[in-house]
Amino acid sequence: EAGVAQSPRYKIIEKRQSVAFWCNPISGHATLYWYQQILGQGPKLLIQFQNNGVVDDSQLPKDRFSAERLKGVDSTLKIQPAKLEDSAVYLCASSLVWQGELFFGSGTQLSVL
């Protein structure tokens, strides 16, 4: 069974630039999560999808962050414009049901200079 795929693995941009991350969850997993993990902290939920609908985006900075999940499969997370404090690892995870195990990708490490 293929795992959760994320790309790119690393990204370096300057502040005010835009960036996009891609995630392909495990086939059949209805729930998809984007987490932001700042160095030394635990993952913080940014947005949660159930199929292609948003379940929770209460902690997503909507003035600069956007996310979509087309056809209930792949997902993209975009930041525009980026700020220095957006430097973090962005983790994508999926699960069959929300109470079950989360399967994580390897994350994208973003550095904003």
Interface residues toward another protein, by CB under 8 A: 33, 35, 40-45, 48, 50, 55-56, 89, 91, 93, 98-99, 101-102, 104-107, 109
Distance CA 86, CA 20 (A): 13
State the minimum distance, in angstroms, from the CB of residue 75 to another protein.
Answer: 16
- Residue closer to another protein by CB (options 72, 81) is 72
Identify which of residues 17 and 106 has a Cβ nearer to another protein in the complex: 106
Give the whole-angstrom CA distance, residue 93 versus residue 5.
9
| Beta carbon of residue 41, minimum distance to another protein (angstroms, whole number) | 6
Output the smallest distance, CB 17 to another protein, in A.
23
Tell me the sheet residues that pair with 90. 36, 108
| Tokens of residue 6, six digits | 């994320």
Rounded least distance, CB 67 to another protein, Å: 15
Cα–Cα–Cα angle for 48, 37, 98, nearest 5°?
Answer: 30
Please identify, using beta-carbon distances, which residue of 25 and 43 lies nearer to another protein: 43
| Amino acid residing at 11 | K
- Report how far residue 97's alpha carbon sits from residue 82's, in angstroms, rounded to the nearest whole number: 32
Is the CB of 106 or the CB of 111 nearer to another protein? 106
